[in-house]
Each structure stands twice: as structure tokens, then as C-alpha cells.
Amino acid sequence: MVRHGGTVVMHGATHQYKGVSAADHEFWDAAAAKPIKDDSEQYVLGKVAMGLSECLRNGI
């Protein structure tokens, strides 16, 4: 895809906090309508690192 001019965008790592992947939010507690209780710079950086690592392992 990239060879043909496409751009890869990482749109989250797991897409889940308490629910099912792709049906939940990574950084938002939808039931409470507020940021997740674990919200912190360290938590977010860990999720970003995990997502980037997964991309690199898969040649993305």
C-alpha cells in the first residue's frame, strides 16, 4: 500500500478499555462519560509503544 502512495495510520492499539475490541474505547469510559480512571501519560505512552511494536513486528 505504501509503495503505491498510501499512508499507514495507527488508529489505536486495542480499541478497548473494559469492553470488546473495536466496540469499546481505549482512552474513554463510555459508561461514565469521562476519561478512563487509568488515564495518565505513562498509560498512554505504553499503549502507543505497544501499538507501534505490533506494527513493526508485522512489517507495517
Residue pLDDT, tens place only, 36-45: 888 899 988 9
Domain span at 18: 2-57
Confidence tier at 57 by pLDDT (50, 70, 90) = very high
- Those residues whose C-beta lies under 8 Å from the C-beta of residue 26, and which sit 6 or more positions away, are 12, 13, 14, 15, 16, 17, 47
Question: Scanning the structure block, which residue is given the C-alpha cell 505497544?
Answer: 50
pTM over 0.85, yes/no: no
Higher pLDDT, 8 or 11: 8
Number of domains in the chain: 1
